Amino acid sequence: MLNVFEHYASLHEIPELGFQEFKTSAYISRHLKAAGFSVEDNFNATTGIVALLESGQPGPTLALRADMDALGHIINGEPCARHTCGHDAHSSVVLSAAQELIAEGAVKRGRLKLIFQPAEELGTGALAMIAGGAIDDVDMILGFHLRPAEECAVGTAIPAVRYSACVTLEATIRGLTAHAARPHLGINALDAAVSAVQAVNAVHLAPGKSWSAKATRFLCDAGVTNSIPDEARVVFDLRAGENEEMTQLQERVERAIKMSVAASGATAEVMLLKAMPAAEINEEMTALIAESIGEVLGEAALMPARATPGSEDFFHYAVQRPAVKSGFWGLGTGLTPGLHHPEMRFDLNSLPIGVKIFKTCVVKVLG
């Protein structure tokens, strides 16, 4: 049986983008089957994996979820996939915990389910697993994420990380082309797009809430420099600490875009590219995780729960299936210079700690 370091070394070398994790899922599936799990590959016609361990005794069904996909980067002018969000570490930790639990006969009641999920970065991987019925029979689900060095040190952990909702919108703004010498005959899509950005910057929610809305991509090119452009595309990133605020923010941003471009005679079509909900975390699961962290690392290593403006598609599980009790925790890893940075690094010695915390959680529920 390989240890967590060996799994990580193997998975780190085969980064794959969302719904293209063919080598990654094959590797994980092979080791789960060898350990004795019942494994369903290509779950819901994706690269996802669902594995099951039946104890044969009555009890709850507890799921552990790990994401598998890497991020797409452009490095030295070349597109590539790279594990800069730690999903290779997440899969390695859950895989190692699963192997050790079955080898030790630690699951004595109920069922342990493992969900290795594709496409977290796309925001649609969890939805695909839910649509396939992955958590229809699940009572509780736990997930985790490596945390940056500024949030918690190696040897510490956070029992609840409350992620924000994130919505990505793309506005396609259309005007009317004309010669630059006769701009009055056209409708400048570039000008209209600039107005849309300014209008979004003027959107406000209550200052006591956590939210932001900003343009993150602007594309406009008529192909020549002496022609009025008739089309521009702008991408907006929206964040909100609560799902209710996100609904309000999205409505206001879409209205601001459409009304601002209409002032110059342009039109805007707003498309939703990605949406991930804010955290919905069960307090009972947070207490379970906190107790497990304390047992593994000591009470001094138990950090307080914290909020983050980052987003995680894990929370689709709780939002889509509110009867399922969900918990999501953070592992101190000394991660620098930051998540999604092309040169992201962390202390590998944190990985066995993650394995122990997950194992302790499982034993408390199913042992």
Domain boundary among 214, 241, 276: 276
Amino acid symbol at 136: D
d(CA 59, CA 52): 14
What pLDDT sits at residue 216?
A: 98
How many percent of the chain have pLDDT more than 90? 100
- pLDDT tens readout for residues 250-259: 999 999 999 9
3-state SS, residue 250: helix
Domain boundaries, position 133? 4-164+279-366
Residues 312-343 have pLDDT tens digits of 999 999 999 999 999 999 999 999 999 999 99
- One domain, residues 193 and 304: no
Distance CA 112, CA 367 (A): 11
Average pLDDT over the chain, rounded to an integer: 97
pTM of the predicted model as reported, rounded to 2 decimal places: 0.93
Strands (E), the chain: 38-43, 48-54, 61-67, 71-75, 78-82, 111-117, 140-148, 157-158, 161-163, 165-174, 178-179, 211-219, 227-228, 231-240, 267-276, 306-308, 325-335
Tokens of 238: 């929206």
CATH of the domain at 18: 3.40.630.10
192 and 257 fall within a common domain: yes
Confidence band for 195, pLDDT divided at 50, 70 and 90: very high
Picking from 254, 276, 298, the residue at the C-terminal end of a domain is 276
Mean pLDDT of 82-98: 98
How far apart CA 88 and CA 354 sit, in angstroms, is 13
Q: Closest Cα partner for 83 from 163, 148, 18?
A: 18
Together in a domain, 13 and 133: yes
Q: What percent of the chain has pLDDT over 70?
A: 100
- Residue 135 near residue 324 (C-beta atoms within 8 A): yes
User: For residue 172, what pLDDT is reported?
Assistant: 98
| Average pLDDT of the segment spanning 165-184 | 97
Q: Report the CATH number that the domain containing residue 195 is assigned in CATH.
A: 3.30.70.360
**Tokens, residue 161:** 């990380």
Same domain as 263, residue 135: no
Confidence class of residue 238 from pLDDT cuts 50, 70 and 90? very high
The confidence band for 55, taking pLDDT boundaries of 50, 70 and 90, is very high
Instruction: Domain count for the chain, please give it.
Output: 2
Q: Beta-carbon neighbour count of residue 19 at 10 Å?
A: 17
* Boundary (domain end) residue, out of 252, 276, 300: 276
Same domain, 111 and 188: no
Dump pLDDT digits (tens) for 269-295.
999 999 999 999 999 999 999 999 999
Do 209 and 109 lie in a common domain? no
Distance CA 90, CA 68 (A): 8
pLDDT tier for residue 99 given thresholds of 50, 70 and 90: very high
